Amino acid sequence: MGADGGTSRASAFERGGAHRLYRHAHSPVHALPPHTKLAAAFGFVVVVVSTPREAMWAFGVYAVLLGVVAYHARVPAGFLLKRLLIEVPFVAFAVLMPFVAEGERVDVLGLSLSVNGLWGAWNVLAKGTLGVAASVLLASTTELRELLLGLQRLRLPPLLVQIASFMIRYGDVITDEMRRMRIARESRGFEARGVRHWGVLAKSAGALFIRSYERGERVHLAMVSRGYSGSMPVIDEVTASRAQWSYALALPSAALVVCLLGWTL
């Protein structure tokens, strides 16, 4: 680690997660306090999941609701769709379902598909996509740091929040350490080719673990030296006004109405 450290390296190599998912903008959605957004996204997902799969129109309305949020958050459709690609492995699983599920069968284009399987696939696909879209919107309008403050405010166990916050802070430090170890290996003529070299890689992983563990001890020492006694001091109080809450909760409330209609119609 040299005096050159810093910005150039951070941008050339992996950056903190905040920058990959977050999309900087000034919109009413960005300005909402993080815990209201978390609660809204969570509420929305719960409502979507509890909607009967037969009410297909309801899922269309949900998608429109998310579209409205995205419009207000100034998140372009292309950005949102690209981020949705993370869902692909689950889609593959859903596509398999009509082929493997049991029960009544129906012929589509000469393929014999299970009716139950089709419904199951639709269920996974619709609910999954909406859930992922809601999370992507949350992540692109809320900075990682803010999310943590929001979780803290929503009374998530403080230890979990602390672990998450250290993960963000030290992710880069550890990837950098890993990179330096790789360069050191390669500089001495090592190239991982095949199973015979896995031993070396495993030992590197072990060394990295021990280094990280020791760093953890030093960080703890530095924290204790500045008066840490088991809980993080409150530095930023996040508060939300009634108006902000009602603004954030408009999404899950609208979704709830749709869901109830879905059950009754």
Residues 83-142 that bind other proteins (CB under 8 A): none
Residues 6-65 that bind other proteins (CB under 8 A): 6-7, 10, 16, 18
Nearest 5°: phi and psi at 108? -125, 120
Q: Which stretch binds other proteins (CB under 8 A): 66-74, 152-160, 193-201, 225-233?
A: 225-233
113, 124, 156, 165: residue in contact with other proteins (rule CB under 8 A): 165
12, 88, 92, 235: residue in contact with other proteins (rule CB under 8 A): 235
Residues 171-190 that bind other proteins (CB under 8 A): 172-173
* Residue (65 or 144) nearer to other proteins, CB: 144
Tell whether residue 4 is a contact of other proteins (CB under 8 A): yes
Tell whether residue 1 is a contact of other proteins (CB under 8 A): yes
145, 182, 185, 211: residue in contact with other proteins (rule CB under 8 A): 145
Positions touching other proteins (CB under 8 A) are 1-7, 10, 16, 18, 144-145, 148, 165-166, 168-170, 172-173, 215, 218-219, 221-229, 233-236
